[in-house]
Amino acid sequence: MGILEDWGWDARWAEAFGGGAGGLFPARLIEERRGLFQIMSERGAGPARTTGSMRHKANDRADLPAIGDWICAEALPNEGAALIRRILPRRTKLSRRASGETAQEQVIAANLDVVLVMTALNADFNPRRLERFLAVSLESGAAPVLVLNKLDACGEPEPFLEQARRAAGGAPVVALSAKTGAGLDALAAWIKPGRTIGLIGSSGVGKSTLINRLTGGERMKTAATRASDERGRHTTTHRQLFMLPQGGLLLDTPGMREMRFWDSEQGLKKTFDEIDSLAPSCRFKDCVHDSEPGCAVKAAVKAGTVAADRLESWSRLRREARQARRKRGGGRGK
């Protein structure tokens, strides 16, 4: 296997790239630090930058390169950095609404195969937040896995697991301890050479600890080391793909305090599959399962086959998704 295959290259990417006409070569964007990119190609790792014309033509931040992107690069003989000429069409795209008032899509990561949605088995555990992260992950096109961390510090995990399974909408649920390594074997089913795995979750759930354990090093600063550090020093949005010793690529997403919806309507349908699958039985086609007569979902809540808190959660998230759609101007996106 060549170096590109280790980073996820395959026949489909080769086809999307076409030939190397005009001295272009394929590369993957593997690191982003304050707008500076590192790419990986057959030539190894090196810096890259966008062209003025790409920045000029971009309608949206999403038209600019994001970590995980496969690109057509051009080497400049008299310059250190390669030029990013074109972004190959993304297979998956993990997006949120960028912070700030104007509606802008921020691509958190491109071409993830799997998203580990992480939470901790403690007082921070929140099924509603899981549903939000799950909807965003499912919308991306990647396969989500719920990871419940800090199993070592949890006296009674079963009630948490039960709630997580209900929030998971069919996605696999794994409980483990990034600290002790207990339960980590379960992740082996998703970690494969050439596969790209993203990690999302609130700050403090143990994402960096898990990356350090899986990479077998101190790649990421964890909260404990940060506390003894100067405040704010690590609040940069540094993103990097790590190659695991057994193969497979792992991406941390630091500094994600919020996960506002960009386009999550399909993701919500999958997250709340038990509700979505009943909707065709409602009397009204556009039933929002609130106070409409003949609502099959409400009937299911009454009968106890759909949980009331799930319907409540769905209703709130759906409103937010609708609002997000209006903000981005209706027709755009899917």
Ligand X SMILES: Nc1nc2c(ncn2[C@@H]2O[C@H](COP(=O)(O)OP(=O)(O)O)[C@@H](O)[C@H]2O)c(=O)[nH]1
Task: Give residues in contact with ligand X (CB under 6 A).
Answer: 149-150, 152-153, 177-179, 201, 203-209, 222-224
Q: Which is nearer to Zn ion, 203 or 281 (CB)?
A: 281
Alpha-carbon span 43 to 7, nearest angstrom:
13
Alpha-carbon span 48 to 29, nearest angstrom:
9
Count of residues making up the chain = 334
The amino acid present at 283, given as its one-letter code, is: R
Name the minimum Å distance from CB 207 to ligand X. 3
Q: Which is nearer to Zn ion, 5 or 284 (CB)?
A: 284
Q: Which is nearer to ligand X, 191 or 301 (CB)?
A: 191
Name the minimum Å distance from CB 202 to ligand X. 7
Alpha-carbon span 175 to 182, nearest angstrom:
9
Name the minimum Å distance from CB 167 to ligand X. 19
Which of the choices Zn ion, Mg ion, ligand X, none does residue 295 contact, using the CB cut-off of 5 to 8 A by kind? Answer: Zn ion
Binding site for Zn ion (CB under 5 A): 282, 287, 289, 295, 297
Name the minimum Å distance from CB 92 to ligand X. 22
Name the minimum Å distance from CB 163 to ligand X. 19
Name the minimum Å distance from CB 208 to Mg ion. 3
Name the minimum Å distance from CB 250 to Mg ion. 12
The amino acid present at 282, given as its one-letter code, is: C
Which of the choices Zn ion, Mg ion, ligand X, none does residue 287 contact, using the CB cut-off of 5 to 8 A by kind? Answer: Zn ion
Site stretch for Mg ion (CB under 5 A), options 46-54, 137-145, 199-207, 236-244: 199-207
Q: Judged by CB under 5 A, does residue 240 bind Mg ion?
A: no
Residues touching Mg ion, count (CB under 5 A): 3
Q: Which is nearer to Mg ion, 220 or 321 (CB)?
A: 220
Task: List, in sequence order, every residue forming a beta bridge with 118; answer none if it has no partner.
Answer: 147
How would you label 72-108 residue by residue, b for 16+ Cβ within 10 Å and e otherwise?
bbbeeeeeebbbbbbbbebbbbbbbbbeeeebebbbb
Which of the choices Zn ion, ligand X, Mg ion, none does residue 149 contact, using the CB cut-off of 5 to 8 A by kind? Answer: ligand X
Q: Which is nearer to Mg ion, 249 or 287 (CB)?
A: 249
Q: Which is nearer to ligand X, 86 or 213 (CB)?
A: 213
Contact 163, 131 (CB under 8 A): no
Q: Judged by CB under 5 A, does residue 212 bind Mg ion?
A: no
Q: Judged by CB under 5 A, does residue 149 bind Mg ion?
A: no
Name the minimum Å distance from CB 255 to ligand X. 9
Alpha-carbon span 283 to 42, nearest angstrom:
58
Residues in region 253-272 near Mg ion by CB under 5 A: 254
Q: Judged by CB under 5 A, does residue 208 bind Mg ion?
A: yes
Q: Which is nearer to Zn ion, 67 or 295 (CB)?
A: 295
Structure-token pair, residue 25: 């070569």
Q: Which is nearer to ligand X, 204 or 294 (CB)?
A: 204
Contact 88, 121 (CB under 8 A): no
Binding site for Mg ion (CB under 5 A): 207-208, 254
